[in-house]
Structure 1
């Protein structure tokens, strides 16, 4: 489980006195705990690795946006800090599908739901998310799907 890997990495980083890595891993753990609490109140049951992966993907996206803003603003030292955090976060994410694999998954989903036009895009995206949620970049999939109709 990804959650256990994060806990083990946190302990290792603390023993090695890696302050930045420890701080980032603690941020990840805190975000996961926040999400756990939110899910408890919603009543939905989400598999643990799926929950952790979605938290990590959101954190990675935030870091990428921050890097872009810092570089545009000329704050390279802050961008470097975000890059190091992003590298740690991405170390726990599963390998994402390539563009070719994403295209194949989209075609399979289109056949499964019987998509004929752009109006069926929501159904195809829902099918993709249910089957490949953790390993497909939904933004890329959306762009590919729009071009395929």
Structure 2
């Protein structure tokens, strides 16, 4: 079952249950997926679906941080609800320890010896964690481990 068909089914359920927040988020995700399909002129792969979901999640996390800085508690709660809804469609997120293991393997594979090897290490790590980990966390772990070499 494709992500779009899952979203369509969930959208129908949200309409029946009159869940406006869920319906709104599903429509936004669906629109992003369909826009990407139109842009590419073909069906999306599972990896492309994950990329779009990760982008949607990042936008919401960035918004959450901005709203928290501005002390907009009304908007903070709304975005937290949206994040929870988007998380339903993402694969299980990796723990920091799991990310560390993947980064250590990449460091070993690239024979990295300093922070100069950041690009090649990230190049190996990101495809493995795409959609399963926050990019900022991965970035921080890679920098930390490379600086400790």
**TM-score, scaled relative to structure 1:** 0.84
* Residue 47 of structure 1, CA deviation: 6.1
On the 8 A contact 1:3/1:52 being kept in 2, the answer is no
User: 1:18 maps to which residue?
Assistant: 19
User: 1:68 maps to which residue?
Assistant: 65
CA distance in 1, matches of 2:135, 2:65: 20
Q: Secondary structure at the match of 1:92?
A: coil
Q: Structure 1 stretch 105-114 or stretch 70-79: which is displaced more?
A: 70-79
2:26 paired with 1:29? no
After TM superposition, what 4+ stretches of structure 1 lie above 4 angstroms from structure 2? none
* Residue 46 of structure 1, CA deviation: 9.3
Aligned length: 145
**TM-score, scaled relative to structure 2:** 0.84
Structure 1: tracts of 5 or more residues without a match: none
Aligned alpha-carbon RMSD (Å): 2.1
Structure 2: tracts of 5 or more residues without a match: none
On the 8 A contact 1:3/1:49 being kept in 2, the answer is no
* Residue 29 of structure 1, CA deviation: 0.2
CA deviations over 1:17-39 (Å, ceiling 9, x no partner)? 22221121111100111222333
Q: Secondary structure at the match of 1:97?
A: coil
On the 8 A contact 1:105/1:128 being kept in 2, the answer is yes
